[in-house]
Chain A
């Protein structure tokens, strides 16, 4: 952990709450420790803004260990920045050079309204889950856990999908602002497990319908989502979801 300090020029998107338009504003960030995370670098900028009587930059964040999915911004054109498999809070400043200029803007999509500066409303993701991203089991009505074996291979594949943190990077990086990677991760997890089969058709149809209604685009195999996903969720899950969709459309009574 041999820390250096670097100086940076930041171009950060500023947008007031309730306004439809914003603009980039330039800030100098001096003496940033390369051991800092990207969000800690923004903390330093905000402390200085506060002391100089200006309003700090609003950005969402919480766990700062890459699991809650609350943080995220587009850094130099990449959702969560340049490092693969990394959330913004886990991106460290040692990956930048002294004198770099960094552009920071919010996740953009029709379905993600900017609240203020870098903070966006991702409530649409909750709506998609509410449209079927669960197994309808009431508390207390579950059978003994080992009464339903799940092949280890399926459990592992389901876990690969379930690792999604719902951050929205897939939408921000997709030219169509599609939520297919997010949606397919949940559909795929449930489809791989015997517990998820009874509602499989209803789930995929309901969630897809909701995604369309919320103004997300469709998938055209650009694969940008997979490249920027901090949990490296594979687009193979989109393929599995498409199979589920076809099965549901042709062979189920669900509409």
Chain B
């Protein structure tokens, strides 16, 4: 099968307008004859559910948490980008498009990114109308800030809780449609399989997490908005329930998985403290606007930070990148922290941390100014670490934060399975090899509010969707398989817990497929993963029963899928013989240790097809053509 991205022709500025004009429409009276399943209620799934229901479709929405308001989009702190150019500082749709393509290290599809920038302004209008309490100037007009090293101020924010506020806006719109009877909400459900009938996505099988009952749901199309797979690393900034299961099940049913090795590591997280740590906490990137990153110049210097004189400190980002300094992009900042710690300069009990020091900023601006800017972050740091960042430097270390890879989609956001649409972090389309700050919220809402309402109509209006029954063999088989898996997990009765396996896998991936990858490390991971997986299926212990609220069983199913997915991620990393963005293979770097792309041979999307158990996945390549942006080497010197 050849990948057809279905990008419309013509100049990039007119593609989306032209496409919208050409898409078939579903008559208003006919919309109520169609049912759409939406899985996930984060920014993408929540906004899609509400918008599709407003149009008149019947929507069935599923989420894993007890309420659609809790999806992990809620934890996003910094802000959302849009090309409003309110500050009059030279921003435009074009510049936002350009920055996103460049930031993604030229591995994203131009046309999708342009559309993202184009609809960004509509998102802000929509959110303001929903009553989202964005930060405002004294005039009452919206405030902007610069974020993630961008040279314009295009980020809209609601204190340090922008994700929460945007999600609650989408949740409000979704709640309105639930009350109107247009959305049927199914909380505490986990999607365990996709049902494909006559080659089209026609339903899902879910487990009711409270009762353990299996349920079958049919629809005319399925929209997947189930987030990223960062938790494959065990420790990440993702919420505990974030997982790859829904996407992986779709992959095994025929949806190609694109660029799984593009994972983002965020430089400013609170370091790991011990073996029982369950997750990592991100500290907003905005801290690097005022904090200075340093380590001691001497290896193993165990003095307290305040006892280390200025002359014995290495402000390594400022030294290596004089023009961007502490504000280099996420991938560069992360890698440099790793280099320093690997060289033995790391600080703290584990040696896996660097200092982020606010002493100079506090002396320059006063404590009150710093508190106004970062008070909530400093308080969070103090709560977790027990140390006061006003008087002693913060300790930070990079952590897995976001995954740019995901299910392959075309311009309509449809996967390689007709009728299966994939939105938000779950798809691969907009961020290339590295996502810029404040762009995840923009993409989730762009997909849900302003793309899928148009493109799904074009699909449904195309016809050929005969009625399906949940009693049919396709549904029965999918359910049978899911139940068999659950029973197998419960029957093993081994000696190791699910978390124990998850930690082993995560540790392996963090070392061998994390910030700095090597062929030897990747090969080691490829050798080890099948062994861990085999032991999991022989020696895992999952207590409790099937017809119960059984959180161990939930985790076991997710880890089982991570153990399969991990192999694909490492395979993809090995196959990409270059470094770009979040994928850094140490064999491919410039003399200055920057990522060295190979545009001649790897300017493509790597889309993997599942070929069956114990068979190597098949690689398909979607060539990326850059007609509007010139490929350059990123430089932040």
List the interface of chain A (C-beta within 8 A of B).
1-3, 17, 33, 35-37, 39-40, 43-44, 47, 49-51, 53-56, 58, 60-70, 86, 90, 92, 94, 115-116, 119, 121-123, 125-126, 129-131, 133-146, 148-152, 155-156, 158-159, 162-163, 165-166, 189-190, 193, 195-196
Check if A195 sits within 8 Å of B129, measured CB to CB.
Answer: yes
Check if B187 sits within 8 Å of A139, measured CB to CB.
Answer: no
Check if A133 sits within 8 Å of B175, measured CB to CB.
Answer: yes
Check if B176 sits within 8 Å of A134, measured CB to CB.
Answer: yes
- From B95-103, B310-318, B380-388, B524-532, the one touching the partner chain is B380-388
| Partner among A35, A51, A90, A142 whose Cβ is within 8 Å of the Cβ of B128 | A142
B586 to chain A, nearest CB (A): 30
Check if B125 sits within 8 Å of A119, measured CB to CB.
Answer: no
Report B397-436 CB contacts with A as 1/0, cut-off 8 Å.
0000000000000000000000000000000000000000
Check if A163 sits within 8 Å of B161, measured CB to CB.
Answer: yes
- From B8-16, B69-77, B514-522, the one touching the partner chain is B69-77
Contacts A144-B125, A155-B134; A166 near B67 (Cβ below 8 A): yes
* A40 neighbours in B (Cβ, 8 Å): 276-278
Chain A, Cβ-Cβ closest to B449: A139
A131 to chain B, nearest CB (A): 7
Check if B172 sits within 8 Å of A129, measured CB to CB.
Answer: yes
Chain B, Cβ-Cβ closest to A129: B175
CA distance A90 to B66 in the complex (A): 20
- From B248-256, B543-551, B569-577, B589-597, the one touching the partner chain is B543-551
CA distance A126 to B333 in the complex (A): 41
A sample of 24 inter-chain contacts (CB < 8 A) reads: A1-B387, A43-B276, A50-B552, A62-B239, A63-B75, A67-B75, A67-B164, A94-B386, A115-B549, A126-B185, A129-B69, A131-B179, A141-B129, A145-B129, A146-B142, A149-B136, A149-B140, A152-B138, A156-B133, A159-B158, A193-B133, A195-B130, A195-B131, A196-B131
Check if A139 sits within 8 Å of B548, measured CB to CB.
Answer: no
Which residues in window 145-174 of B have CB below 8 A to A?
158-159, 161, 164-165, 168, 171-173
* A149 neighbours in B (Cβ, 8 Å): 136, 139-141
Contacts A33-B274, A64-B239, A149-B141; A142 near B161 (Cβ below 8 A): no
Check if A139 sits within 8 Å of B54, measured CB to CB.
Answer: yes
Q: Does B348 contact A (CB under 8 A)?
A: yes
Q: Does B476 contact A (CB under 8 A)?
A: no
A226 to chain B, nearest CB (A): 18
Chain B, Cβ-Cβ closest to A150: B140
Check if A190 sits within 8 Å of B131, measured CB to CB.
Answer: yes
| Partner among B69, B137, B176 whose Cβ is within 8 Å of the Cβ of A166 | B69
Check if B140 sits within 8 Å of A162, measured CB to CB.
Answer: no
* B282 neighbours in A (Cβ, 8 Å): 65
Taking residues whose C-beta sits less than 8 angstroms from the other chain, chain B's interface range is 35 or more
Chain A, Cβ-Cβ closest to B127: A145
CA distance A200 to B497 in the complex (A): 52
How many A-B pairs have beta carbons closer than 8 Å: the answer is 231
Check if A62 sits within 8 Å of B72, measured CB to CB.
Answer: yes
Check if A155 sits within 8 Å of B136, measured CB to CB.
Answer: yes
Check if A55 sits within 8 Å of B543, measured CB to CB.
Answer: yes
* B450 neighbours in A (Cβ, 8 Å): 139-140
| Partner among A1, A63, A134 whose Cβ is within 8 Å of the Cβ of B239 | A63
- Most chain A CB within 10 A, of B70, B449, B499, is at B70
Q: Does B50 contact A (CB under 8 A)?
A: yes
* A43 neighbours in B (Cβ, 8 Å): 276, 278, 499
Check if A53 sits within 8 Å of B65, measured CB to CB.
Answer: no
Chain B, Cβ-Cβ closest to A193: B131
CA distance A61 to B138 in the complex (A): 39
Check if B172 sits within 8 Å of A135, measured CB to CB.
Answer: yes
A34 to chain B, nearest CB (A): 8
CA distance A50 to B239 in the complex (A): 22
Q: Does B616 contact A (CB under 8 A)?
A: no
Chain B, Cβ-Cβ closest to A121: B66
CA distance A86 to B138 in the complex (A): 31
Report B46-69 CB contacts with A as 1/0, cut-off 8 Å.
010011001000000000011111
Chain B, Cβ-Cβ closest to A68: B70
Other A-B contacts than A50-B497, A126-B178, A166-B70, 15 sampled, CB-CB below 8 A, are A1-B273, A43-B278, A61-B240, A63-B75, A68-B72, A126-B67, A130-B176, A135-B172, A139-B173, A149-B140, A150-B140, A152-B136, A152-B138, A166-B69, A189-B131
Q: Does B19 contact A (CB under 8 A)?
A: no
Report B451-483 CB contacts with A as 1/0, cut-off 8 Å.
001000000000000000000000000000000
Contacts A1-B348, A134-B173; A139 near B51 (Cβ below 8 A): yes
Chain A, Cβ-Cβ closest to B386: A94
Check if B128 sits within 8 Å of A122, measured CB to CB.
Answer: no
Q: Does B341 contact A (CB under 8 A)?
A: no
Q: Does B349 contact A (CB under 8 A)?
A: yes
* B136 neighbours in A (Cβ, 8 Å): 149-152, 155
Chain B, Cβ-Cβ closest to A5: B274
List the interface of chain B (C-beta within 8 A of A).
47, 50-51, 54, 65-70, 72, 74-75, 84, 86, 122, 124-142, 158-159, 161, 164-165, 168, 171-173, 175-176, 178-179, 185, 187, 210-211, 237, 239-241, 273-274, 276-279, 281-282, 348-349, 380, 383-387, 395, 449-450, 453, 495, 497, 499-500, 541, 543-544, 548-549, 551-552
Check if B165 sits within 8 Å of A162, measured CB to CB.
Answer: yes
CA distance A50 to B552 in the complex (A): 9
A192 to chain B, nearest CB (A): 8
CA distance A129 to B159 in the complex (A): 23
Check if B349 sits within 8 Å of A1, measured CB to CB.
Answer: yes
Chain A, Cβ-Cβ closest to B493: A53
Check if A70 sits within 8 Å of B66, measured CB to CB.
Answer: yes
CA distance A78 to B387 in the complex (A): 25
| Partner among B141, B239, B278 whose Cβ is within 8 Å of the Cβ of A39 | B278
Check if B74 sits within 8 Å of A67, measured CB to CB.
Answer: yes
Chain B, Cβ-Cβ closest to A117: B549
Check if A56 sits within 8 Å of B70, measured CB to CB.
Answer: no
CA distance A133 to B54 in the complex (A): 17
* A146 neighbours in B (Cβ, 8 Å): 86, 141-142
Check if B543 sits within 8 Å of A56, measured CB to CB.
Answer: yes
Check if A122 sits within 8 Å of B176, measured CB to CB.
Answer: no
Contacts A139-B126, A140-B122; A58 near B551 (Cβ below 8 A): yes
The 3 closest A-B pairs by CB, nearest first: A149-B140, A134-B172, A142-B129
* A137 neighbours in B (Cβ, 8 Å): 126, 129-130, 173
B191 to chain A, nearest CB (A): 17
Check if A62 sits within 8 Å of B543, measured CB to CB.
Answer: no
A142 to chain B, nearest CB (A): 4
Check if B544 sits within 8 Å of A55, measured CB to CB.
Answer: yes
| Partner among B69, B137, B386 whose Cβ is within 8 Å of the Cβ of A126 | B69
* B138 neighbours in A (Cβ, 8 Å): 152
CA distance A233 to B51 in the complex (A): 31
CA distance A50 to B548 in the complex (A): 16
B84 to chain A, nearest CB (A): 7
* B548 neighbours in A (Cβ, 8 Å): 17, 116
B542 to chain A, nearest CB (A): 8
B503 to chain A, nearest CB (A): 11
Chain B, Cβ-Cβ closest to A141: B129
B143 to chain A, nearest CB (A): 9
Chain B, Cβ-Cβ closest to A95: B386
Chain A, Cβ-Cβ closest to B135: A155
CA distance A51 to B380 in the complex (A): 34
Check if B175 sits within 8 Å of A56, measured CB to CB.
Answer: no
B607 to chain A, nearest CB (A): 30
B558 to chain A, nearest CB (A): 13
* B386 neighbours in A (Cβ, 8 Å): 1, 35, 92, 94
Contacts A63-B75, A140-B122; A152 near B140 (Cβ below 8 A): yes
B118 to chain A, nearest CB (A): 14
B108 to chain A, nearest CB (A): 25
CA distance A146 to B129 in the complex (A): 10
